[in-house]
Amino acid sequence: GAGVSQSPSNKVTEKGKDVELRCDPISGHTALYWYRQSLGQGLEFLIYFQGNSAPDKSGLPSDRFSAERTGGSVSTLTIQRTQQEDSAVYLCASSFLATNEKLFFGSGTQLSVL
């Protein structure tokens, strides 16, 4: 596609439920990143993919968070047993190469945990 696509754009869930957030990067971009942005805050790095591999998962806040990427393209971020503190905007970004490349961000998924 022309840009990074994320779905859903908004997700409201109840505490304890699992959610899946999807990211479709720009075609041909090998690197994919997930960031979290809480209200009025900066961007918190979660995980990075090079192809289908995730060399660094250390940014994931807890073991309730996991992510995968298939076919070097679409990525899914899964949050299990959601908590209220998980409420935030989850941003996906992609870049052509992995290092020192500009990032193209999607519009994000606004997650609200009630």
Binding residues vs other proteins (CB under 8 A):
31, 35, 40-43, 45, 48, 50, 55-56, 91, 93, 98-100, 102-108
Please say which residue, 43 or 80, places its beta carbon nearer to other proteins: 43
Task: Give the DSSP H or E segment for 100.
Answer: none
- State the pairing for strand pair 109-113/10-13: parallel
CA 54 to CA 107: how far, in whole Å?
22
Please say which residue, 8 or 16, places its beta carbon nearer to other proteins: 8
Q: What is the largest CA-CA distance in the chain?
A: 38
Please say which residue, 43 or 74, places its beta carbon nearer to other proteins: 43
Beta carbon of residue 38, minimum distance to other proteins (angstroms, whole number): 11
